[in-house]
Amino acid sequence: MSENPDEKLGIIERLRRGLPAPELSYVADREGIGVEEIVSGIVKGEIVFPANRCFPLKQKPCAIGRGLRTKVNANIGTSTEVHDFNDELAKLRVAVDAGADTVMDLSTGGPIAEIRKALLAVSPIPFGTVPAYDLITRFCGNGNSIHKAVVDDFLKVVEEHGEIGVDFVTVHAGLTTEALSLLKSEGRIAGIVSRGGSFIADWMLHNGKENPYYEYFDELLEIARKFDLVLSLGDGLRPGAIKDGTDKAQIKELSTLGELEERALSRGVQVIIEGPGHIKLDEIETNVRLEKELCHGAPFYVLGPIVTDVAPGYDHITSAIGGAIAASHGADFLCYVTPGEHLRLPTEADVREGVIAARIAAHAADLVKLGERARRWDDSMSRARFRRDWEAQIRLALDPKQAGALSGKEIEKGEGCTMCGDYCSYKVSERILANKGDSK
């Protein structure tokens, strides 16, 4: 650790006391807004700034929440089946290159502590984890189960992640005995699909005890305060099938997360709320509004949502549909889903496609949420298109590499494209409407 964690306050407390937070200027500049908007959002709990305060600021920090650009997270990490150190470092580079705002290491296979440290050491973007996975990997396997973990183990893994410099952690603190009993009566098709959630539920049911992250939430907050660790309150009961979406269990957990959010904020701990999952397209708006109501405007971090179960191999698209709709209604943070979700651990190519699809969804939503501030990009692109300026179109493209790869021939010719050839509507428009577009 670079400094004594007790000597400094978390960002909420600093801002509440009117102390300076120069690290927010970079973020405000990148958003194109005044720093006071971000300060006000953080104090109200509507914006988070994930940055472990015991470690140097990441090269590209970001803030997440109301009034800001929708952010994109990429999940990487090993599993028991696939765990190559270099693969994960490569995936991190691909995710950053493709424009991910944050990354989460979800490793559960191989030397996970070493992999995590290696990734953390080079990540230029805020870094998240799910500490409960350490419980799973330590206690399970070889015929053993999570049953023998004790409450202290649940808290210790979170502290360990803070100590190495993690910026935000998922903790499934709303998965209570009550929510679990609702779930059992729902008759879901897909049960619990959250990995952390399923193992915590297993522990709870076997030991007949409440979820330690819920019961000892104050202790969890103390740990979070030490590092200014952002708590991403996970939805262990998120639906994993369209039919299971927006049921009593899911909403009970969300409601509990709202109570925990208030307690965290009062202690100066930053909170994100996690959301679904598989839900029908027309349930997305309700889910977002409910989160904003029940969780007092806290940033909403959705996994997808995935709007149909039937397209394995294309879940970057099913989730781009859901993510765009969710963010347009106020979700703040999209966890990417890769084409191979439901089929395999993502490859480098999957990571790239996942990040790009989520960024498309985020920007489509930002056109709604942020208006002209977001639309300037589209206007520049459309002007370049109207004047057949291929170089500008490639440069402005959300993914210049892909746009360049598909348009090589056109750039050489400098005019028109193979789509319309000689019969280009832009050329006709330009001539008959005397509309040259702006010069930019």
The footprint of a second copy on residues 206-245 (CB under 8 A) is 240-244
**CA dist., res. 254 & res. 247, Å (int):** 11
Q: Which of 243, 213, 246, 249 is nearest to 231 (CA)?
A: 213
326 binds a second copy (CB under 8 A): no
174 touches 233 (CB < 8 A) = yes
**CA dist., res. 181 & res. 266, Å (int):** 29
- Answer for which of 25, 84, 406, 414 binds a second copy (CB under 8 A) is 406
- Answer for which of 229, 331, 360, 370 binds a second copy (CB under 8 A) is 360
- Answer for which of 178, 309, 348, 389 binds a second copy (CB under 8 A) is 309
Contacts with a second copy, 262-301, as mask; x by CB under 8 A: ----------------x-xxx-------------------
**CA dist., res. 301 & res. 276, Å (int):** 9
List Cβ neighbours of 18 (8 Å cut-off, separation of 6 or more): none
337 binds a second copy (CB under 8 A): no
- Answer for which of 3, 84, 378, 391 binds a second copy (CB under 8 A) is 378
291-301 in b/e form (b: 16+ CB < 10 A) is bbebbbbbbbb
Q: What angle do CA 332, 334, 339 make, to 5 degrees?
A: 165
List Cβ neighbours of 118 (8 Å cut-off, separation of 6 or more): 85, 88, 89
- Answer for which of 205, 251, 294, 392 binds a second copy (CB under 8 A) is 205
405 binds a second copy (CB under 8 A): yes
- Answer for which of 114, 152, 379, 391 binds a second copy (CB under 8 A) is 379
- Answer for which of 35, 182, 368, 392 binds a second copy (CB under 8 A) is 368
5 binds a second copy (CB under 8 A): no
Report the site for a second copy in 126-155 (rule: CB under 8 A): 133, 136-137, 140-141
176 binds a second copy (CB under 8 A): no
Report the site for a second copy in 13-72 (rule: CB under 8 A): none
- Answer for which of 1, 121, 150, 189 binds a second copy (CB under 8 A) is 189
In the complex with a second copy, the residue whose CB is nearer, 170 or 318, is 318
- The piece of 28-36, 180-188, 225-233, 289-297 that touches a second copy (CB under 8 A) is 180-188
List Cβ neighbours of 305 (8 Å cut-off, separation of 6 or more): 275, 276, 277, 278, 279, 284, 287, 319, 322, 323, 325, 326
- Answer for which of 47, 183, 264, 288 binds a second copy (CB under 8 A) is 183
In the complex with a second copy, the residue whose CB is nearer, 165 or 322, is 322
Structure tokens at 298: 């806290």
Report the site for a second copy in 73-132 (rule: CB under 8 A): 79-82, 108-109
383 binds a second copy (CB under 8 A): yes
**CA dist., res. 203 & res. 275, Å (int):** 23
Q: In angstroms, give the least distance from the CB of 57 to a second copy.
A: 29
**CA dist., res. 178 & res. 237, Å (int):** 12
313 binds a second copy (CB under 8 A): yes
Q: In angstroms, give the least distance from the CB of 384 to a second copy.
A: 10
Q: Which of 122, 120, 14, 126 is nearest to 62 (CA)?
A: 126
Q: In angstroms, give the least distance from the CB of 128 to a second copy.
A: 18
- The piece of 13-21, 84-92, 94-102, 189-197 that touches a second copy (CB under 8 A) is 189-197
166-182 in b/e form (b: 16+ CB < 10 A) is bbbbbbbbbbbeebbeb
339 binds a second copy (CB under 8 A): yes
- The piece of 50-58, 65-73, 290-298, 399-407 that touches a second copy (CB under 8 A) is 399-407
* Count of CA atoms in the C-beta half-sphere (13 A) of 212: 21
159 touches 223 (CB < 8 A) = yes
